[in-house]
Amino acid sequence: MQAYMKSEMPFLGVPTAPLRAICKECFAGVEWRDSAQWHDEVRAIWNGAEHREERYAAIELAKHKSARPFQALEALPLYSEMIVTGAWWDLVDNIAPSLVFGLLKTEREAMSETLRQWARDDDIWLRRSAIIAQLQAKRQTDLALLYDCIEPSMDSKEFFLRKAIGWALRQYARTDPAEVARYVSANAERLSPLSKREALKHIV
């Protein structure tokens, strides 16, 4: 698992399904005094992790039902810290389309501005997060926001950004294939072959 992920942090070798089952059992009945206590506990697990699965567990705790009252803009610094320090796709792709998207749904104006800022950040993982944040949005996808988040990375040679662009477009193509085909055609000179191939993968 460590070799596959190209991770400096070692793995315990626990697959996703049993890891989530363990977290569900461990976090059952957990209660928080306030959002600060929850932030501190998530951050403590994340920063204290000696194995990759412990960081996965921190994400599970961040997603836990007990944290629903705290899914507000005050959680954004925690999530951005996890994205920047995690700095790899297995962690970022577990945070952006769920936790960051959750904030976008409830804090639309502020989060739209944040994602547009992330899309131009020097950190590629914040950029990737901005691009893939709406993967689950389907018909609620804010196309203007999606395209604004793609545009700064469209000419990038960075694999993880090119892949993210293709992934985001491919996902939206499940909702509106004609629009994705139009967008790819309109930007054919700038989109990388990888982004175009991924975007059009399921369009007949």
> What is the predicted pLDDT for the residue at 142?
98
- Domain assignment of residue 12, yes or no: yes
Q: How confident is the model at residue 151 (pLDDT cuts 50, 70, 90)?
A: very high
Helices (H), the chain: 2-5, 16-27, 35-48, 52-63, 76-86, 89-95, 101-106, 108-118, 124-132, 143-150, 159-173, 177-186, 193-199
Q: How confident is the model at residue 33 (pLDDT cuts 50, 70, 90)?
A: very high
- Cα distance between residue 7 and residue 132, in whole Å: 22
> What is the predicted pLDDT for the residue at 16?
93
- Cα distance between residue 168 and residue 131, in whole Å: 7
- Cα distance between residue 40 and residue 9, in whole Å: 22
Number of domains in the chain: 1
Q: How confident is the model at residue 169 (pLDDT cuts 50, 70, 90)?
A: very high
> What is the predicted pLDDT for the residue at 137?
97
Q: How high is the mean pLDDT of the chain?
A: 97
20 Cβ partners below 8 Å, 6+ apart? 60
- Domain assignment of residue 171, yes or no: no
Instruction: Please give the share of the chain, as a percent, with pLDDT higher than 90.
Output: 97
- Domain assignment of residue 187, yes or no: no
- Domain assignment of residue 143, yes or no: no
- Domain assignment of residue 135, yes or no: no
> What is the predicted pLDDT for the residue at 92?
98
- Domain assignment of residue 202, yes or no: no
34-68 per-position pLDDT tens digit: 999 999 999 999 999 999 999 999 999 999 999 99
72-115 per-position pLDDT tens digit: 999 999 999 999 999 999 999 999 999 999 999 999 999 999 99
- Domain assignment of residue 75, yes or no: no
Structural domain of 62? 1-70
Q: What is the mean pLDDT of residues 31-35?
A: 95
- Domain assignment of residue 112, yes or no: no
When comparing pLDDT for 8 and 158, which is higher? 158
> What is the predicted pLDDT for the residue at 129?
98
